[in-house]
Chains A and B, each alone.
Chain A
Amino acid sequence: MAVKKFVVGNFDDEAVLFPAVKKVRRAGYKIHDVFTPFPIHGLDHAMGLRDTSLHTAGFIYGITGTTTAVSFITWALTIDWQLNFGGKPFFSLPAWIPITFELTVLFAAVGMVLTFCYLCQLAPFVKKDHFNPRSTDDTFVMALECTEKTNEAEAISFLQSIGAKEVKVDYKETGWWLGRYDKDTKRFEKKAEAVH
């Protein structure tokens, strides 16, 4: 996993953060991510993130569920084990619609939850580095990634000038690793220089 160097600005107000994101992007800095205690409408758009493809995945899971249900029931009731229900034909689609619907919803729901966890890198024993633990409480954290062109001092003063309360330079693990929160507190072996 890569350890990178960041300039981290902490904001205490959503109303300051929002224009700050726009100014930082206009100034040409690379925003690694913005961490907020609650979802902020329109922030993803301001950060220039692309739309999530989670719903496309959901559609595909749903279609898979529909196909699974229809093909399995068809096979079971018309080929493998034909049963006569009240004189209805073996292939009686209307009776299968409720189950098809349920399986569509089930596949879409479970699939989307798992995909969401995968995209957010959430799983048991997966650990991630926090820039500031208070970003789950009352602080808005914006992390700028340092590239070879970034002048740190300039970036720090820029962040301060647009309203950041506290700015620091930090080395963080950008990926995830396996460990337990109660036992494993060691993040990475040794501090590496910024990876360019």
Chain B
Amino acid sequence: MSIRENFVVPKRYNTIAISLMVVGILAIVGLYVTSGSKESEHEQARFWASLLQNSVYFLLVVNASMFFICATTLAWGGWQMAFRRATEAISAVVPVLGVICAAILLAVVFGGQHAIYHWSDAHHVEGDPTLLHKKGFLNPVFFSVVTVLTILLWSVLGWKMRQLSRSLDNNPLPTVEERKKYIWKNTVWAAVYIVVFSLTVMSSLPWLWLMSIDAHWYSTMYSWYTFASTFVAGVALIALFVVFLKNNGYLEYTTNEHLHDIGKFMFAFSVFWTYLWFSQFMLIWYANMPEETVYFKPRAEGAYSGIFWLMFLINFLAPLLLLMTRGAKRNYGTITFMALLIIFGHWLDFYQMVFPSPMTDEKGVTHVPMILYDFGVALGFVGLIMFSVGRALTKAPLLAKNHPFIKESLIHHT
């Protein structure tokens, strides 16, 4: 078979992507009719919480792809070069989802959805000492500026990294000096991205977007834990696209060795996620202070305990046991299954981060909403990601053949 350098979107692929998007739109319309258009603030919150959870989750998942690129670039890793274009294509969706996510977040903050963000209600904050104390951080202006700036920086820096990679396609670097310079340039831009990334996803942004839903409660570990959640799902997404491209006869230089290393990432970061998830839980459980345990009351013991334990099962036990052996990490079927499971599991993680607080009624009882709608919305976002990644894949050859590290990747051995 000849080398197939350029991706051609299969017809069925786009059909599936578009039908998933239609499902998503139907689910959003359904949600709007059943709850979003209602008078009650709590009914409306259910609609916006679903959009918020899905858009934030999928934005962070595709953004993890660019983090993967930059982290490996900074570490001078060469092994991922063989499938680097797949990760670049996934990260190219960040601007698309970023605009959607920013629009939803700003609509929630300025649209008066106080059942989601209590702190956005100026009147309510006046009578609440805790929120008054946090006002410098939790206010609509700060929130929107940080949100827009962050998404802009991710998009621009990601675009720069992809541009650097594509600039070599028709322009091989003949001398070692030029290659060194190119690697150095890559390193600098990757470092800038990592700094922005660590100041946002890894430290402060999930506080604003997700933790401030429970505005009285706080956990300094929260962002780091959110990052772990989205990074493992992001690596799973990369694995899915690599397997998809391999099965369609592309990426012929990507071998089981590369898949094995992606599997190791999925395994390792599943355990890392569990470590943070459990640490956050255990410290609060041990200290047993009411203002902290309030977060886990509905989640670990209340209405959401089923999701809580299901997460433990599919985000920790399943990857730990099923991805442990060498054979499993080299098997397309196992990797695909585990990647889907992990993406779903961390979607559930975000579900129980977002929903319990808006779903608490006036009497203080927490409900689990009809989750089928949220599945529908999630499928819509999956369709959008599929469609956009498919488009981005066609834009450049699938092998970065002039990159100085490409040989290291082709002879990669684990």
Q: Which residues of A are in contact with B by a Cβ distance under 8 Å? A: 41-42, 51, 55, 59, 86-88, 94-95, 97-98
- Write out the residue numbers on chain A whose beta carbons fall within 8 Å of the beta carbon of B278: 94, 97
Q: How far is the CB of A66 from chain B (nearest CB, A)?
A: 12
- Give the B interface residue count (CB, 8 A): 9
Which of A41, A51, A55, A86 is in CB contact (< 8 Å) with B288? Answer: A86
Whether B286 contacts A94 by the Cβ 8 Å rule is: yes
Asked if residues B286 and A95 are in contact (CB atoms below 8 Å), the reply is yes
Chain A nearest CB: distance from B263 CB in Å?
A: 15
Chain A residues, CB < 8 A from B285? 94
Closest residue to A42 on the B side, CB-wise?
A: B413
In angstroms, how far is the closest chain B Cβ from the Cβ of A67? 16
Residues of chain B within 8 A (CB-CB) of A97 are 278, 282
B33 at the interface (CB under 8 A from A): no
Please give, as numbers and ranges, the residues of chain A lying within 8 Å of B122 by CB-CB distance: none
Residues of A within 8 A of B288 (CB): 86-88
Given A41-B413, A42-B413, A86-B288: A59 and B324 within 8 A (CB)? yes
Mark each residue of chain B from 267 to 283: 1 if its CB lies under 8 Å from any CB of chain A, else 0.
00000000000100110
CA distance A95 to B286 in the complex (A): 7
B413:A94 contact, CB within 8 angstroms: no
Sample (19) of A-B pairs whose CB atoms are under 8 Å apart: A41-B413, A42-B413, A51-B326, A55-B326, A59-B324, A86-B286, A86-B288, A87-B288, A88-B288, A94-B278, A94-B281, A94-B282, A94-B285, A94-B286, A95-B282, A95-B286, A97-B278, A97-B282, A98-B282
How long is the Cα–Cα vector from A182 to B282 in the complex, in angstroms?
55
Residues on the B chain within 8 Å of A88, using CB: 288
Cα distance A55–B325 when bound, in Å? 9
- Closest B residue to A87 by CB, please name it: B288
The 6 A-B pairs at the shortest CB distance, nearest first, are namely: A41-B413, A94-B282, A94-B285, A42-B413, A95-B286, A97-B278
Which residues of A have CB within 8 Å of B286? Answer: 86, 94-95
Report the bound CA distance from A33 to B413 in whole Å: 22
Give the complex CA separation of A42 and B257 in angstroms: 12
Task: Report the nearest A residue to B327, measured CB to CB.
Answer: A51
A86 to B326, CA, bound (A): 44
Complex Cα gap A42–B282 (Å): 44
Additional 12 contacts, C-beta under 8 A, given A94-B285, A94-B286, A98-B282: A41-B413, A42-B413, A51-B326, A59-B324, A86-B288, A87-B288, A88-B288, A94-B281, A94-B282, A95-B282, A95-B286, A97-B282
Q: How far is the CB of A183 from chain B (nearest CB, A)?
A: 43
Bound CA span A47–B170, Å: 42
Q: When chains A and B are docked, how far (Å) is the Cα of A94 from the Cα of B283? A: 10
Taken together as a complex, chains A and B put the C-alpha atoms of A95 and B324 apart, in Å, by: 26
B180-191 Cβ-contact flags toward A at 8 Å (1 or 0): 000000000000
CA distance A42 to B278 in the complex (A): 39
In the bound assembly, the distance between CA atoms of A51 and B282 in angstroms comes to 39
Question: CA A41 – CA B324 in complex, angstroms?
Answer: 22
> Could you say which residues of chain B place their CB within 8 Å of the CB of A59?
324
What B residues does A94 contact at CB under 8 A? Answer: 278, 281-282, 285-286
Compute how far the CA of A133 lies from the CA of B193 in the bound complex, rounded to whole angstroms.
51
In chain B between 322 and 355, which residues have their CB closer than 8 angstroms to a CB of chain A?
324, 326
Residue ID in chain B nearest A85 by CB atoms: B286
Nearest CB of chain A from residue B270's CB, rounded to whole Å: 15
CB distance from A88 to the nearest CB of B (A): 8
CB contacts (< 8 Å) of A51 on chain B: these are 326
- The complex places the Cα of A55 from the Cα of B282 at a distance, in Å, of 30
Contacts of A98 in B (CB 8 A): 282
Smallest beta-carbon distance A91→chain B, Å: 14
- Once the chains are docked, how many angstroms separate the CA of A186 from the CA of B279? 58
Q: Which residue of B lies closest to A101 (CB)?
A: B275
| Cα distance A117–B15 in the bound complex, in angstroms | 58
Looking at the assembled complex, report how far the CB atom of B409 sits from the nearest CB atom of chain A, in whole angstroms.
15
Closest Cβ neighbor of A41 among chain B residues: B413
Smallest CB separation, B357 vs chain A (Å): 23
Q: Which chain A residues lie closer than 8 Å to B326 at the CB level?
A: 51, 55
Distance A151 CA – B413 CA, assembled complex (angstroms) = 37
Name the residue of chain A whose CB is nearest to the CB of B324.
A59
Instruction: Give A98's nearest chain B residue, CB to CB.
Output: B282
**What residue of chain B has the Cβ atom nearest to residue A59's Cβ?**
B324
Which residues of the partner chain A approach B413 to less than 8 Å between Cβ atoms? 41-42
Nearest A residue (CB) for B278: A97
A42 to B324, CA, bound (A): 21
Give Cα A97 to B285, complex, Å.
Answer: 13
**Distance to closest chain B CB from A134 (angstroms):** 26
Chain B residues in 8 Å Cβ range of A42: 413
CA distance A41 to B281 in the complex (A): 42
CB closest chain-A residue, reference B325: A55
CB distance from B411 to the nearest CB of A (A): 9
Interface digits, B71-84 against A, CB 8 Å rule (1 contact, 0 not)? 00000000000000
